[in-house]
A and B are shown apart, each in its own frame.
Chain A
Amino acid sequence: MSSIMLYQFDGSLFVDGKGTPLNTQLSDQDKQMIGQMYPKQAADAKTAGSPA
């Protein structure tokens, strides 16, 4: 899994030597996660006066 919230750690720091990937941009999972935390659709519905 990749995420901007996950920093790169070198493989030598882990027992299995695999390390973690370098993430320099928002991943698809990040976009999905933040969209769930702060959904845009809910706001649209709210401003349109739809019942909750």
Chain B
Amino acid sequence: MAQQNPTPHICFDRIVPSSYQPARATTHRIATSNYIATVRQKTARLAVAPPANATLFQHVRSIQKLGSLSASDPVAIARMAVIDLKKWDNGRSLRCRFLDGDDFQQGKVKDKADIWCDYANITFSFVDDPDAEVRISFQADPGSWSAVGTDCLITDYFPQYQPTMNFGWLRDDTADEEYERVVVHEFGHALGCIHEHQSPTENLQWNADAVYAAFSGPPNYWSKDDIDHNILQKYSPNGISATRFDT
């Protein structure tokens, strides 16, 4: 591929951190209890004994703290568990609402999002409901990102007047191929998929110095902390020095 730009626009998944404790939420009890029920249900499916209420979130936290694990198999199992925990019910219709954007932008997003529906038992309905599960902006910030799966329902993190998904660089003059690359990717997050890099089936080692140099400049302009979080730690189950990377 004759790509000249060595540093592509990179998206990130906004996974709700393990420190989040839904039990403490007081203002959005329905969404929260739905989330807890989902977590319980998915946890029960994992061939792991369903943890008692008090230890449930300890369990969730422990499977999300993958950096400390060294053997590859437990990491793989835990990674899959994290994905499974955030899955929607099969056959569900997800309501999607545009918070902004013009007709061209919205039309492109609808077309590209629907590509998933040819292969997944999920439908997207684009509506104006204020409580739509997926809320889309083109101008929340310069980045492109999405909540992962049922994290969309956690209104402590994604209040209903705010987006769960942003397309910071898709404009009327953006190429169709770039729309497809970014929109399908972000809707993959919305369906519960995490970055492919996070599935530790193959080895690749980052050159950390080169990564810092590349992502601190255009078009991402990330700080060292951003780069650690968005690239090096996220895509390195065993830490920066002994990277496992899926390609």
Are A10 and B202 in touch, CB under 8 angstroms? no
Give a binary string over A1-36; 1 marks a CB under 8 Å from any B CB, 0 the rest: 101111111101111101011111110001101110
B124 in contact (CB, < 8 A): no
**CB-nearest residue of chain A relative to B247?**
A20
Q: How far is A33 from B8 in the complex, measured between Cα atoms in Å?
A: 25
Are B206 and A13 in touch, CB under 8 angstroms? yes
Q: How far is A3 from B185 in the complex, measured between Cα atoms in Å?
A: 9
Q: How far is A34 from B177 in the complex, measured between Cα atoms in Å?
A: 21
Contact of B8 among A4, A5, A8, A40 (CB under 8 A): A8
- Give the A interface residue count (CB, 8 A): 34
Which A residues are CB-close (under 8 A) to B87?
37-38
Contact of B3 among A8, A31, A42, A43 (CB under 8 A): A8
On whether A6 and B197 interact (CB within 8 A), knowing A13-B206, A39-B90, A42-B90, the answer reads yes
Are A6 and B192 in touch, CB under 8 angstroms? no
Are A40 and B202 in touch, CB under 8 angstroms? no
Which A residues are CB-close (under 8 A) to B140?
none
**CB-nearest residue of chain B relative to A9?**
B8
Are A15 and B207 in touch, CB under 8 angstroms? yes
Interface residues in B43-84 by Cβ distance below 8 A to A read: 83
Which B residues are CB-close (under 8 A) to A31?
119
Give residues in B with beta carbon < 8 Å to A. 1, 3, 6-8, 10-11, 83, 87-88, 90-91, 115-116, 119-122, 177-178, 180-181, 184-185, 188, 191-197, 201-202, 204-207, 210-211, 214, 245-247
